[in-house]
Structure 1
């Protein structure tokens, strides 16, 4: 799984990379050290990331500014020296909140937590498709969704789940991507 690190302290970023890459399923693909760089990178490459490790206080401000400039739809593990941003972290895709200085085990546990979440979604999806089929029906093989100003095709076998949130249906992929789907749940149930 591809990991992005957003951390302005080089020794901490290097340590995080080292710890993350001790886990066989995880690879750090990029390390960034500022809000400006993070916004630019995520706007172009977010679809290639599975999880983000993010410091809160960066040299050019609080990392929450990133969320104001890019719609981040992948999980974030916050690593910070500050303990008073927990709620804000959860409101911004936070799945874990690790205080610095951290132990290696805290990082590994956060990765395992993320892995369990992904596995749980996959298991539920598999169970859903294991229901007996009594008649041969042609189902939709993909969904057309909007990402920023372009349309993308998401094959059905890459869809983890659909969720109805505030009267909008969202499609979630196994990579943790989230897209609005402009169809109602009745249509989706009949299509898949």
Structure 2
């Protein structure tokens, strides 16, 4: 019986992964489903008996690597995320595969087969294996995600297409998501969560500055310190603010 832990804060993503797991031949037991960074840390501090971890990266309360840097995770991890910029971090830990959302069953099956192959050949010295995997992926891994250039938007009478390059920032408010364009026009999007939008946008162009807002780098006019741990971002006639948790990563993303 292969004991699996799922770290994922989106219910549809967990459901999809569990459906995929049900389709494979090996007997599996999902021993834990985790949605937050805090819960991840608490769980692994108990030294659980785990065979494989499926892990998202950006959870509702932060980045899961905050845990993996503090706790030595000896179990193999298959990462499943909408962000391509973390793959180096993944293979510096116990990562053996990197699934870029939205991924197909065939892509999932390839990752699973890699785990099974490693499982049968695994030696006592796990660290040596992971170092070899790290070197392999640094040399061979090529991730070429395709991001949307247009977002379809339904109005009362028709459907029109908003150019992603014209979006200045995106804002979520209680399940309603709006995009503001370069003419400062507000568009009601069909998506209901910010994470759904993040998955189709290029992370080199768009950054989540807090729990409810994404900004387009191309339209940032200036940045001022707002508080000790946050900054104010000026876009058109709007002033947006980073959260304390996101300020440092935003500054790094901007190259500050």
Q: In which range does the TM-score fall when normalised by the shorter chain?
A: 0.5 to 0.7
Which residue in the other structure is 1:74 paired with?
75
Distance of aligned partners of 1:60 and 1:50 in 2 relative to their CA distance in 1, 3 Å threshold? same
Contact 1:2/1:51, CA 8 A, preserved across alignment: yes
CA drift at 1:93: 0.9
CA drift at 1:163: 7.3
Gaps of 5+ in 1: 122-159, 166-192
Q: How does 1:35-114 map to 2 (within 5 A)?
A: 35-46=37-48, 48-114=49-115
Cα RMSD, aligned residues only? 1.8
Which residue in the other structure is 2:30 paired with?
28
Contact 2:74/2:126, CA 8 A, preserved across alignment: no
Distance of aligned partners of 1:70 and 1:101 in 2 relative to their CA distance in 1, 3 Å threshold? same
Which whole-Å deviations, capped at 9, do the CAs of 1:14-55 have from their partners, x for residues lacking one? Answer: 111121132232332211001111111112153x21110101
Larger radius of gyration: 2
* Cα separation, 2, equivalents of 1:81 and 1:164: 27
* Cα separation, 2, equivalents of 1:2 and 1:105: 22
CA drift at 1:161: 2.5
* Cα separation, 1, equivalents of 2:103 and 2:29: 20
Contact 1:4/1:52, CA 8 A, preserved across alignment: yes
* Cα separation, 1, equivalents of 2:66 and 2:12: 23
Which residue in the other structure is 1:161 paired with?
124
Greater RCO structure (CA 8 Å; 6+ sep): 1
Contact 1:53/1:78, CA 8 A, preserved across alignment: yes
